Amino acid sequence: MTIEFTIDRRINGTQVRTGVLRTPHGDVSTPVFMPVGTFGSVRSVTPDELISAGVNILLGNAYHLYLRPGAKRIRDLGGLHAFMGWDGPILTDSGGYQVFSLASLAKVQEDGVSFRSHIDGRLHFLTPQSVIEVQQDLGSDIMMPLDHCLPYGADEGALRDALDRTNRWAEISARAAEGKKSEVFGIVQGGMNEGLRKESARFMSSLDLPGYAIGGLSVGEPKETTWAMLEAVVGELPVDRPRYLMGVGSPEDLVEAVSRGVDMFDCALPTRVARNGGLYTKTGRLNVNNARFKEYVGPAEEGCDCYFCITFSMAYLHHLFNCNELLGYRLATLHNLRYFMKLMSEVRDAINKGSFSDFKQEFMHTYVPVSEEARSQGSRNGRKGRSGGE
């Protein structure tokens, strides 16, 4: 395998652990958060700025890059790493989530998915094999197989049908990836049915893949259901392989999921929230558009070492947003990315010191999440990087 995972520290009696994910483009300490670079860039931020923020692995979207500029064009230009000037690891999403989010444009068939481009209406057909070929053309370090994700509330019959199809496609994808430089993870599905979730996890584990993703969560279900499904899945997955919870990114959700054994996350939330004036801090989110920041000479958070906080004031950022200046969106994005990287670093340090339980308790006491309504909207928006584009 070109992808290897080792566990550094595991807290006794729990699933909480730190580890190292080794890839052809470098090692990644886990638990890790992956910013979303849907079109081959994390919006408004350069690779050097990502590195300065502490980012060392990105998520790209094979669906969108397949549509434009085209995977073969990227291949001929040296692959996605060279194309976007990023020398670190890249994980690419397959497009399975687009089947869910762009359902009105797509039709699932036994051997693949036919869909009309949301860009120009042209008809396309993706198969499990072609999705792997697209990601190999991109030069991804980690590939996601085509899967069938259903919306929250789907009945058991539909869930069974989608699960069986996802399993068959996973087998085809694993064979298509054999002997290649890129590795494919399995994706656990099963909706909010615990029995199907466990069955899916056991099947994916039987394929002996280098890692396992957990899909189809945070799609509108109550949080207690999310955690129940996650716990059911984690208990069935191999201990020595990384576990990747797809599309989850609220700070409180990251800490909760780490406490249940998750190693990898992705979400467009930090960059999307930034462009809407939201800045993450240890106590919750600030809205730079609030009038109280008109004359506030301090940073978003005292002690923050991001470029914005050490250079500018909230009054300046408030002014930039009031004038719709692009620099404002960039500065807010840099702050949020740095916040997420620091949070994950603090999580890893707490686990390695054996004090994660105390860390989680203090974090949950200090951090005030947004309202449930805004949280639900943010969850949907945070995944738009897979559909409409981040």
Length of the chain (residues): 390
Residue found by looking up tokens 């199907």 in the block: 196
* Cα dihedral: 10, 91, 77, 84 (round 10): -80
Catalytic residue among 137, 147, 253, 266: 266
Measured CA to CA, the distance from residue 145 to residue 163 in angstroms comes to: 13
The string of DSSP codes covering 236-278 is: TS-TTS-EEETT---HHHHHHHHTTT--EEEESHHHHHHHTTE
Q: Rg of the chain's alpha carbons, rounded to an integer? A: 20
147 part of the active site: no
The one catalytic residue in 48, 93, 141, 164 is: 93
- Tell me the angle at which helices 251-258 and 356-366 cross, rounded to the nearest 10 degrees: 160
**268, two tokens:** 């467009």
266 annotated active-site: yes
Distance CA 171, CA 201 (A): 14
Three-state DSSP state, 379 = helix
Catalytic residues: 93, 266
